């Protein structure tokens, strides 16, 4: 596949993995992207996951059209991209690796060698001349690991963006970009909003016409849309107006309260209500929704003097990703000593700029006239 006259796509689609990075379901698979830049000197941009070594090496060989690669640029050392560095270096003994100093430290740890005699250590704004193409390296620490660099090719106005602008889903699957890019972003990079903001500021100074990420499609049109979403996500802004009701229920009574609230919100004309059963839906999807919308209702039964385990896990996912800037409300249930609302509130105590609803709904086992009134009041408050 030609990305430009000189840039070839040599990535692979993975429909085998059960869990990407050991935790994310990927119903439409995953793409590990890799690129080849053909010029007087040729450069390969990253490798792919270990299970696709032979397919990738064959694609590379075919795209080289009889040539040999001069450089392997390693932008990111996570194994979904770095696993085949050794196979590449063995196959092409004259090739040189270009990467950050931290990446070479990681190579030593992963592979037992840092290629001391076959490497170029690159720093911020260092360049690599290929001929017509000059690659400029831009450091992007913690997007998504500390060693990450992204690479700009001024000749074709291409930004190789590493994990940035990536998404779940193989490239042969038809699906909406934003849904799986958002789930990917908040799952994997969500904690590092400040670092993504720093990278966006550097990228704003470049004339970019194509973005070549390490996952997901090459972005070629309407780049302002994608960059705008990344700006909203990384600044923890509200992307869409709406209320997410995330519940953890044992016998269905807390669920009934969550559903009643959803119904009341819809009756009052709340534009968008998302109801999520934390025990049965994809946790990463629930996390994505919590960061997408402006209001979040947490509904949990009390359990061992705490909250139900799925709720604890959910809130942990939110707080470790800097959940902030939103309105939060609680529904608690407890048959003899309800404590869920207090525990959930405590778990969010270090989260910045949260507005807590005045109404907390309390169920003592099941919905009552009193708790129904509280739900009515909460719906009123959230729709205001």
Which residue ranges make up the site for ligand FEO (CB under 6 A)?
76, 78, 80-81, 144, 163, 214-215
Structure tokens at 293: 């919308």
Contact call for residues 333 and 340 (beta carbons, < 8 A): yes
| Closer residue to ligand FEO, CB minimum distance, 39 or 46 | 46
| Closer residue to ligand FEO, CB minimum distance, 21 or 376 | 21
Backbone angles phi, psi at 234, to 5 degrees: -80, -15
Question: Rounded to the nearest 10 degrees, what angle do helices 369-383 and 253-267 cross at?
Answer: 40
| Closer residue to ligand FEO, CB minimum distance, 114 or 163 | 163
| Closer residue to ligand FEO, CB minimum distance, 215 or 326 | 215
| Residues linked to residue 301 through DSSP beta bridges, in sequence order | 333
In terms of DSSP bridges, do strands 240-248 and 293-303 run parallel, antiparallel, or are they unpaired?
Answer: parallel
Least Å from the CB of residue 81 to ligand FEO? 6
**Distant-in-sequence, close-in-space partners of 78: CB < 8 Å, separation ≥ 6:** 144, 145, 163
| Closer residue to ligand FEO, CB minimum distance, 6 or 78 | 78
| Residues linked to residue 240 through DSSP beta bridges, in sequence order | 293
| Closer residue to ligand FEO, CB minimum distance, 14 or 78 | 78
Least Å from the CB of residue 164 to ligand FEO? 10
Least Å from the CB of residue 229 to ligand FEO? 18
Least Å from the CB of residue 21 to ligand FEO? 7
160 to each of 132, 233, 265, 376, how far by Cα in Å? 17, 20, 44, 51
| Closer residue to ligand FEO, CB minimum distance, 141 or 309 | 141
Distance CA 342, CA 334 (A): 12
Task: Please give the residue whose beta carbon sits closest to ligand FEO in the complex.
Answer: 78
Distance CA 161, CA 40 (A): 23
Question: Rounded to the nearest 10 degrees, what angle do helices 177-184 and 283-292 cross at?
Answer: 100
Distance CA 100, CA 118 (A): 14
Least Å from the CB of residue 231 to ligand FEO? 20
Length of the chain equals 384
User: Roughly how many angstroms between the first and final C-alpha of the chain, as a whole number?
Assistant: 52
Least Å from the CB of residue 79 to ligand FEO? 8
| Closer residue to ligand FEO, CB minimum distance, 105 or 306 | 105
């Amino acid at each position: 596949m030609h990305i430009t006259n000189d840039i070839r796509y040599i990535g692979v689609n993975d429909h085998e993995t059960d869990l990407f990075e050991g935790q994310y379901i990927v119903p439409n698979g995953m793409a590990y992207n890799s690129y080849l830049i053909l010029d007087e000197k040729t450069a390969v941009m990253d490798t792919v996951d270990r299970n696709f070594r032979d397919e990738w090496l064959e694609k590379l060989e075919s795209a080289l059209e009889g040539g040999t690669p001069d450089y392997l640029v390693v932008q990111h050392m996570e194994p979904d991209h770095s696993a085949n560095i050794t196979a590449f270096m063995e196959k092409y003994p004259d090739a040189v690796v270009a990467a950050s100093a931290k990446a070479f430290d990681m190579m030593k740890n992963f592979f037992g060698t840092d290629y001391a005699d076959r490497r170029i250590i690159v720093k911020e704004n260092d360049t690599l001349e290929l001929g017509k193409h000059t690659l400029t390296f831009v450091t992007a620490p913690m997007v998504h690991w500390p060693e990450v660099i992204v690479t700009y090719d001024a000749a074709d106005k291409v930004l190789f963006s590493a994990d940035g602008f990536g998404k779940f889903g193989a490239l042969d699957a038809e699906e909406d970009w934003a849904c799986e890019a958002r789930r990917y972003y908040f799952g994997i990079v969500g904690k590092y909003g400040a670092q993504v903001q720093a990278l966006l500021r550097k990228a704003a100074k470049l004339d970019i016409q194509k973005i070549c990420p390490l996952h997901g499609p090459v972005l070629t049109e309407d780049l302002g849309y994608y960059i705008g979403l990344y700006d909203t996500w990384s600044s923890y802004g509200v992307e869409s107006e709406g209320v997410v009701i995330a519940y953890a229920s044992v016998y269905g009574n807390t669920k009934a309260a969550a559903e009643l609230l959803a119904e009341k919100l819809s009756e009052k004309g709340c534009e968008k209500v998302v109801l999520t059963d934390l025990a049965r839906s994809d946790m990463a999807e629930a996390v994505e929704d919590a960061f997408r919308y402006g209001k979040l209702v947490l509904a949990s039964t009390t359990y061992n003097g705490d909250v139900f385990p799925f709720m604890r896990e959910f809130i942990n996912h939110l707080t470790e990703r800097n959940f902030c800037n939103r309105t939060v409300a609680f529904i608690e249930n407890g048959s003899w000593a309800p404590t869920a609302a207090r525990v959930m509130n405590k778990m969010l105590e270090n989260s910045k700029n949260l507005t807590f609803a005045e109404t907390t709904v309390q169920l003592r086992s099941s919905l009552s006239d009193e708790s129904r009134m509280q739900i009515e009041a909460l719906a009123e408050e959230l729709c205001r």
